[in-house]
Structure 1
Amino acid sequence: MTEPPAKAAGAFRTIGELSRELGLPQHVLRYWETRFPQLKPLQRAGNRRYYRPEDVALAKRIDRLLNREGYTVRGVQQLLAREGGGEEAAPQQSSSDLLTRVRIVRDRLAAALSDD
C-alpha cells in the first residue's frame, strides 16, 4: 500500500493525518482540545476536524512539552496561559525550576540504569 502524497505546508490536516504525524491516537488529540482552549481546529459537518497550520504547530508543541520534556497537563496549561497561547515562544523557567527538572531527569536515568 502506498502512502498518499505529502500535503503542502499550509494545508489543513484531518485528525487522522495529524495523529499519524505525531504518532498519537486520535482520542488524545480530542482530549487535548478539552484541556487546551488554544487548540481549536475547525469543525465541519459531522464534527470533522480540520487543523490549520497554527493548530498543527501548537499540537506539536503540546506533544513535545508533555511527552518529551516531562511537563504535566496542568503545567502546559499554565505555560500557554502565561504566553497567551503563542505556539513557538520559549518557556520561561527560573534557574531553580530548571535545576529541579534536571535532577528529576537525572534520578530517572539513574534508576533506569540500575534496573539493567
Structure 2
Amino acid sequence: MMKDSGAFRTIGELSKELKIKPHILRYWEDQFAMLQPLKRAGSRRHYRPEDVEMVKTINRLLHEEGYTIKGARKFLTSRKNQPTTIAEAPAMATSTASALPMTGPGTEDNSLIVKELKSIRDRLSSALNEA
C-alpha cells in the first residue's frame, strides 16, 4: 500500500520507496544542511513531501548525473537563490537580461552570432589537429 504523496514518511518507508539504505539518508542529512526531516520522540525521522523531493534530487545528482557530494551541495545552494514562485520569475529574468550582452533591443541578429561562433570553433578545431 502506497502512502498519499503529501503524507510524511519514516526513514524506513523512504528507504524502501527510493531504494536508498537508511544509513545513506542519515549521512546525507549531515552533508546537506537543507535536508532536515522532522525529528519526533526518540529521534524518529519523518520526511515531509519537500524533504522527499530533496532526497530524490540529491539521489539523481549523485547517482545519475555524476556529481560529487560537494558539487551537489553547491548546485543545491545555488538553486536556492533562484525564484520559487512564478511571480518572482519575471523580475529575475529582467535583471538577468540586462546583464547578458546578446539580449535586448539593437543587438546583432542571432544567426550572425551563431555563424561567428561556428567559425571560431572550426579555427580552434583545425589548430588542435595541426598541433
TM-score normalised per structure 1? 0.68
Match of 2:62 in 1: 66
In structure 1, runs of 5+ residues without a counterpart are 89-116
Counterpart CA distance in 2 for 1:67 and 1:40 is 21
* 4+ residue segments displaced more than 2 Å: none
- In structure 2, the partner of 1:36 is 32
> Which structure exhibits the higher relative contact order, with contacts defined as CA atoms closer than 8 Å and separated by 6 or more residues?
1
Deviation of residue 21 (structure 1)? 1.2
Instruction: Report SS of the residue matched to 1:78.
Output: helix
- The 1:67/1:18 distance shift into structure 2, 3 A limit, reads same
Question: Are residues 1:24 and 2:20 paired?
Answer: yes
Identity rate, percent: 54
Q: Given the superposition, is the C-alpha separation of residues 77 and 62 from structure 1 closer, same or farther in structure 2, using an over 3 Å criterion?
A: same
Q: 1:30 to 1:85 in 2, by over 3 A?
A: farther
Shift of 1:85: 7.6
Q: Does 1:48 align with 2:40?
A: no
Determine if the alignment matches structure 1 residue 84 to structure 2 residue 75. no
> Are 2:19 and 1:13 equivalent residues in the alignment?
no
RMSD, aligned α-carbons? 1.6
- CA gap of 1:58–1:68, structure 2 versus 1, over 3 A, is same
Aligned equivalents of 1:53, 1:64: Cα separation in 2:
17
Larger Rg: 2
Quote how far apart the aligned CAs of 1:44 are: 0.3
